[in-house]
Chain A
Amino acid sequence: MAELKTPLLDQLTTGPWPSFVADMKRLVDRKPTVADVLAQLELSYEEKKGHWKHGGIVGVMGYGGGVIGRYSDMPEKFPNVAEFHTMRINQPSGWFYTTKALRDLMKIWDKYGSGLTNMHGSTGDIILLGTVTDNLQPAFDEFSDLGWDLGGSGSDLRTPSCCVGPARCECACIDTLDLCYDLTQEFQDELHRPMWPYKFKIKISGCANDCVASIARADFAIIGTWRDDLKIDQEAVREYVNSGFDIQGVVIDKCPTKCLTWTGSELVLDGSNCVRCMHCINKMPKALRPGDDKGATILVGGKATILQSAFLGWVIVPFMKLEKPYDELKDLLRNIWEWWDEHGKVRERIGELIYRKGMRVFLKDLGMDPLPQMVFRPRANPYFFWWPEEVNQG
């Protein structure tokens, strides 16, 4: 192999931060593939032009998702990356591993792949970058012998993902880990078989802090919340204030619905106006807690720009109790998928379809009622358009 010269890429190693170029160069002696990735990327920098092609169909037996085909458009020049496919491995709920599990996984990847990984992909999965078509099946067989499965890719259910939830976090209002695992098991077919207009993502956060950014990134966002009043330990509040905490500036004035008052000795909550945003709890975690009557808010339609601009999810269920076996949630998912598959155009996400057809059509077809929580500013925003026959004209 000719000596690898990458003057443009090398500039990326001169800054104060770790560089993928330096990391990849450590692999070059063992993995000719990685040398060609770097050489091809250097060429891309020179020519200001990408040299990867999205591939034809590659995969493993029984799966239509989970493997992403990539080829170099200059295979003669860069033979080691003529094929450079990516495997998506379904991550455990909340990304909890033992180091042994990671080592075993990496041993297999070192044997069959480039050794490059992306921990974790934007979908949540363990992304293993770069292998050849012939290695896909044997690699997959070894992964599955250890109990790993592929995640979603293409027009299917993408790997559901969740925050660490109750394993680590006192804010969690639902068992995100169990729910994520349960949905992953329930919807195996939807995960492994591309069969919809486009991708569909489920992300689960245990509270409104939304650590997995489900509202912006998931077609179906499940965000933990509570229905009764949040809990206040007045003694602990006084301790915060006595130790110099600016309760007025940091908590009271920042409550979005101005539903808290500080009397000088007591924190008073106007529970009917609290929107459960988590702000006050985040600022005084020792004194405030979510309420007891816990469940989740369901939002639909979040996504990045593709056909339409970026969307945040819309609330479609303000509060749902979430207890095993989660039947209400699963039925809702199935109904949404059926409606989307029936009406969606190719590459149209559920949010775009709702945008095109209108929220009232979506709600009517799914047999759901419009609710004030679906509206950004309920008293000011004429967001919902009534069906003409439902309007009292008299």
Chain B
Amino acid sequence: MSEDLRARVLAYLEKVDKVKSKDIAAALGEKKSDVDKVVKELAKEGKVEFLYIGTSYVKLVK
């Protein structure tokens, strides 16, 4: 997976409190499935966490 997309997802998450994966994809103009993959990797590394409020949101682990 591209390092570039990873960096951009992280940069985007810095700017928001919590966001849906789908909306990250829309904001970055990327495919949602690609963003999903990056987010899953980041979650496994403990860099982002999932929040469930009706649906899944992603946020940076502070």
Contact = CB atoms under 8 A, between A and B. Distances in A.
B15 to A, nearest CB: 21
A150 to B, nearest CB: 13
Interface in A165-202: 189, 193-196
Interface string B11-22: 000000000111
Contact of B52 (A59, A189, A338): A59
Contacts, number: 32
B21 A338 contact: no
Given A189-B40, A195-B20, A342 B56 contact: no
Interface string A329-348: 00000100010011000000
Contacts of A189: 36, 40
Contacts of A64: 50, 52, 56
B50 A338 contact: no
The dominant DSSP class at the B interface is: mixed
The dominant DSSP class at the A interface is: loop
A205 interface: no
A57 interface: yes
A155 interface: yes
Nearest to A196: B55
B48 to A, nearest CB: 12
A194 B20 CA distance: 11
Given A189-B40, A334-B33, A338-B33, A194 B56 contact: yes
B31 interface: yes
B33 A195 contact: no
Given A64-B50, A189-B40, A341-B22, A194 B32 contact: no
Nearest to B22: A341
B37 to A, nearest CB: 10
A64 B54 CA distance: 9
Interface in B18-62: 20-22, 31-33, 36, 40, 50, 52-56
Interface of B: 20-22, 31-33, 36, 40, 50, 52-56
12 contacts: A57-B53, A59-B52, A64-B50, A189-B36, A189-B40, A193-B52, A193-B56, A194-B56, A195-B20, A195-B21, A196-B55, A338-B32
Interface of A: 57, 59, 62, 64, 154-155, 189, 193-196, 334, 338, 341-342
